[in-house]
Structure 1
């Protein structure tokens, strides 16, 4: 049978383990960065899939419970529920070219909740599909008014460049985004709403959902976002953009 490369590539395996635990990098990031920085050549490494197989086989000190994204991954088929509320333009109307991630300006957005109480703040997250640029904006609550106020702030910040930077925004059907389509009345930005109850699916807005999962490494579910300083939020955003 085919021989395992595990022992022959011990140097690369140790590199992955070191950066996984010390820098919080995923196995994919470790594998790709090792090649991008020139620290290893292709023949000295294994692909991310093989790394995950090593974890499953118990060959590495990294265990499956150290991989929160893997444990929460759902392999069941998603079914789009019919006759649900429609806040605006469906994602099915979104141009297919956006799926190719070849043009800058197409964003996904979502909310990250903390303690889920009325007096706790909320994080508005946005991710650009091509560049993977990630933004975190702290807002007072999860109301549609607070969400719109944050976008109005962004629109003022980017000024005349807004239409070039925010060409489209894809979000879910939550009531907090009910007024987001109003941006179309004051700009050229087009708003698309994901399929109800399948917004975390990769084909809808999986990019921002992935970053939301990374935020949970620093702000676990149930923690009050009020307890985290603005600098800490900025540090999390910087860390996400450095991957």
Structure 2
């Protein structure tokens, strides 16, 4: 499986399931489907067998729509049940034939007992198929069934009402006496729960006691959700902020990401040239290591390897998990080292304060809480062009585009898809994007 493919690869998506449905109709094997989706073939096999739909198809059966016996077309038996003395009707047309006949053998299709386990892509026409019990795989129905199971398996608590009531009779009176959950569980090990679980039950209102009954709970504010940090500390070797400062660079590039609202997974990868004050942004469908790597590869193809090395020689970024694979970012398409990545200290965003200031201008157009779901790279380029066409006092009233045109050159700016905006047409408000939709 490629480590550059976006996503955590834990769950099949709706598009994946629709692809499986379409490929089954073409007769594609599980191995080929799995190779395209970067999954194991057993994953595809389990998916099809778990979410295949049963379909009772009555055409093509002999007399009785519920007769599944393999001998039903040639069977001449009568009165196999022995309940009616003068029964002249063939047993094959009797509803109880399969339950009473000793010679009953259920008709089976080998296609349903082994891969692909479904009738999708079967070469037999439905009208000529005598199997009454058919199975089909539908991508949308499978995804809906999977989501329902995913939600139901995570809702509620793993406890009966009677068990919860018994625990409540012990916990709530002691909390009213001022005891903490830890103190209660220490003195009552028969409760068989963790401190975290007790806090959760109280917070959800499952117990008589409430949050306000706890001694300190009401004083705490909700925790802020910080960006996921890199867990592998070995990547920071020779890449720390102190190592970066020892280089004593006058010009370098700062890198960061700007997240959308919770309704969207799209993210903006931002780059800032500290000397020219030039700001770049690229739209990512997922905030992952692979998505960042693909953006770097795309830039290298536009600029050329040696131009990329000269422009992005040194990059300073934070410790977000999307930057957790510096070797892949530093290694070019042809295996040449194209850049050097360095990381700020934990919780020290001020060490790359220039790009943080540039984000304030970006947030003028895309305020916090804005969804990037319907944003395109063309929209992002438009915003970047307006930001880079804004004069800066630190540049003596010149715009970042004008300075970059002298230092980087016109070809590089074209590769970045940048162009100047007339001074009176620069717009740094949300209307800039709304008027273009």
Structure 2: distance between partners of 1:233 and 1:178: 25
Aligned to 2:345: 195
Quick check: which has more Rg, 1 or 2? 2
1:108, 1:164 → 2: CA distance? 15
Residue 235 (str. 1) matches residue 389 (str. 2): no
Residue 51 of structure 1: aligned partner: none
Asked if 2 retains the 8 angstrom alpha-carbon contact of 1:87 and 1:173, the reply is no
1:84 Cα deviation after fit: 9.6
Deviations 1:59-84 (A, max 9, x none): xxxxxxxxxxxxxxxxxxxxxxxx99
Q: Which has the higher contact order (CA 8 A, sep 6+)?
A: 1
Change (3 A) 1:152 1:188: closer
Q: Secondary structure at the match of 2:293?
A: helix
State the secondary structure of the residue aligned to 1:157.
helix
1:152 CA displacement: 1.3
Q: CA deviation at 1:188?
A: 4.0
Given that 1:148 and 1:180 are in contact with CA atoms closer than 8 Å, whether structure 2 keeps it comes out as no
Equivalent residue, structure 2, for 1:87 = 235
- Residue 162 of structure 1: CA displacement? 1.1
Deviation of 1:227 after TM superposition, in Å, equals 2.8
Q: What stretches of structure 2 of length at least 5 have no aligned partner?
A: 1-230, 391-437
2:248 maps to which of 91, 97, 107: 97
| Equivalent position of 1:147 in the other structure | 292
Root-mean-square deviation (CA, aligned residues, Å) is 2.1
Give the superposition deviation at 1:215. Answer: 0.8
Partner of 2:253: 107
Matched ranges for 1:1-243 at <5 A: 85=233, 87-88=235-236, 89-94=239-244, 95-98=246-249, 101=250, 103=251, 106-117=252-263, 119-159=264-304, 160-185=306-331, 186-199=336-349, 201=350, 204-243=351-390
The offset of 1:171, in angstroms, is: 0.5
Question: 1:77 — aligned with what?
Answer: none
In 1: Cα distance, 2:376 partner to 2:293 partner: 23
C-alpha separation in 1, matches of 2:310 and 2:380: 26
Whether contact under 8 Å (2:261, 2:368) holds in the other structure is yes
CA distance in 1, matches of 2:387, 2:265: 23
Contact residue 265 and residue 287 of structure 2 kept, 8 A = no
Count of equivalent residues: 152
User: TM-score when scaled to structure 2?
Assistant: 0.33
Give CA deviations for 1:221-240 in whole Å, capped at 9, x if unaligned: 11111233433312210111
The answer for the alignment partner of 1:19 in structure 2 is none
Aligned to 1:68: none
Three-state SS of the structure 2 residue aligned to 1:217 is helix
8 Å CA contact retained: 1:144, 1:175? yes
TM-score (norm 1): 0.58
Q: Is residue 144–residue 178 contact of structure 1 (8 Å, CA) maintained in 2?
A: yes
Q: What is the distance in 2 between the residues matched to 1:157 and 1:90?
A: 30
1:30-85 deviation line (CA, Å, top 9, x unaligned)? xxxxxxxxxxxxxxxxxxxxxxxxxxxxxxxxxxxxxxxxxxxxxxxxxxxxx994
Q: Distance in 1 between matches of 2:379 and 2:298?
A: 21
Offset at residue 86 of structure 1 (A): 5.6
Mapped contact 2:272–2:354 kept (Cα < 8 A): yes
Residue 87 of structure 1 and its aligned partner are, at CA, apart by 3.2
**CA distance in structure 2 between the partners assigned to 1:123 and 1:221 by the alignment:** 13
